[in-house]
Amino acid sequence: MAGKAGRSGGARPTRELDPAKKRAPTLGERAQHGTDVRKEVAPEQHALFSAAQGRRDPVEILEQQGATRVPELVPIRYGRMLVSPFTFYRGAAAVMAADLAATPTSGLTVQLCGDAHLANFGLFASPERRLVFDVNDFDETHPGPWEWDVKRLAASLEVAARQNGFSGKQRRKIQLATVRRYQGAMRQFADMHELDLWYASTDTDRLPADLVARLTKPAKKKLERTLAKARTRDQYRSFKKLTAIVDGERRITADPPLIVPISELLPEMAAEQLELQLRGLLARYQHTLQPDRRALAQAFEFVDMARKVVGVGSVGTRCWILLMRGHGEGDPLFLQAKEAQRSVLAEYGGLGGPRFRNEGERVVDGQRLMQAASDILLGWETVQGIDGKTRDFYVRQLADWKGSFEIEGALPSGLAQYGQLCGWTLARAHARSGDRVAIASYLGDDSTFAHAIAEFSAAYADQNERDYAALEKAERDGRITARSGV
């Protein structure tokens, strides 16, 4: 049943005119479209997963990605992926994208996160200075079938639950709770007015009451600690942690290989050239901001920059942190300029779809479309490196009230509740770009889809363990070099 993507012609967004009728489809027509798709690609078919004939070697896929990255950082990526099957899963979005392309798909299209595993949801500050919970990684965002994100999230919960030693019954309960929450949320959003949907968010002051009510006292205290800790992770904390006075000037301090100031990374002439190029990037990036935010960005002057290693799957892509100064020494701003490469969904998923002039713009557009509230300084630009190669970047604040769920040590009930929160959040993100009425109609009220995804997740977690073992073997055989403990 592979190759069904696009069979239904994709979802027609509510604002798109029917070419034949010269008008937008009615709610009834959109619901019928979802019902028709359900008949052609039954929800239970999403349970299917087996390694496709001719499946690419997962290590080869990772090596192909490494060929475009900073060579001395690629071993760190492998080292981080080899910590556990879960960290491997985090870094193997490209591997799963290739696998998802061979699975049955509904053809109902949304803006995908592209890497919607449970660690890519978290806390951050909204422009109104409220702490919100949302999807927070968009390096792989791209249009595609909505169920690909659901499968990526659900399989991550299965992998994490296995790592925590949960039983098969406990793992299935987590899966069903998460997917049923997505399903119920999509029905809720299908009934919403357009503006009500657009303003829907997961403000931590208004977390879903049914989830909070089921939290035990220790869980509630843990949640309160996480929220309080997130509010301390701001520009001032980064300023104190990452900088020091050097020869009378404020500079980013070195912590190699994770943070390397440009003055220590390159010879003096090359460092000056790269700094000049990134100053140009900053100036051009500001023109991707709306005018009021551009005025804010222009109020800061450049001070220093350093290369920074981030994440698991992103390790090796070029990432710079830039220290800026506003109204005096005590008014810092840290920006992060991160390389944006082609989405793995476009690379391995066979989706086609739009081609972007700038991959950074792709990331920013996807983030703004999926998130209820995005960083006010989120923008993009292209820069030519000292090697003469042109690369795309997106720019955002380095830290602004950042917090995340602690996976290790989580209880089954806690992981289930977190999965439900992720499910609700993902459904809202998908509802903003896709035909939520058709998707809700496709899902229906029964648990067929949830059980199918639970089956898929168990099968894919098995495959993930085999792929993790393949990377371990590649290191033992000397095919790859891994640097652990970094």
pLDDT at position 14 over 50:
no
Residue environment code for 342-371, b if the CB has 16+ CB neighbours within 10 A, otherwise e? ebbbbbbbbbeeeebebbbbbbbbbbebbb
Q: What is the pLDDT of residue 37?
A: 97
pLDDT tens profile 214-231: 556 666 676 667 766 666
The pTM for the full model equals: 0.91
User: How many separate helices (H) and strands (E) can be counted in the chain?
Assistant: 19, 13
474's CB contacts (< 8 A; 6+ apart) are 59, 480
In 342-471, at which residue ranges do the beta strands (DSSP E only) sit? 379-384, 390-397
* Residue 140 to residue 184: CA distance in whole angstroms: 26
Q: Residue 55: pLDDT above 70?
A: yes
Rounded to an integer, what distance in angstroms lies between the CA atom of residue 196 and that of residue 191?
10
* Nearest by Cα to 335 from 252, 253, 270: 252
Q: Which has the higher per-residue pLDDT, 15 or 109?
A: 109
Cβ neighbours, 10 Å, residue 41: 22
Encoded tokens for 70: 């900073």
Mind listing the pLDDT tens digit for each residue in 86-95?
A: 999 999 999 9
For 253-267, the pLDDT digits (tens) are: 999 999 999 989 888
Query: Between vectors from CA 465 to CA 460 and to CA 471, what angle results, nearest 5°?
Result: 125
CA distance 349 to 346: 6
Structural tokens at position 404: 């995340």
Among 2-16, 164-178, 220-234, 328-342, the range of highest mean pLDDT = 164-178
Q: Tell me the C-alpha distance between 306 and 323, whole Å.
A: 9
DSSP state string for 226-239: HHHHHHH-SHHHHH
- Examine the pLDDT at 318 and tell me if it is beyond 80: yes
d(CA 17, CA 32): 16
pLDDT of 277 > 70? The answer is yes
pLDDT, the chain, mean: 89
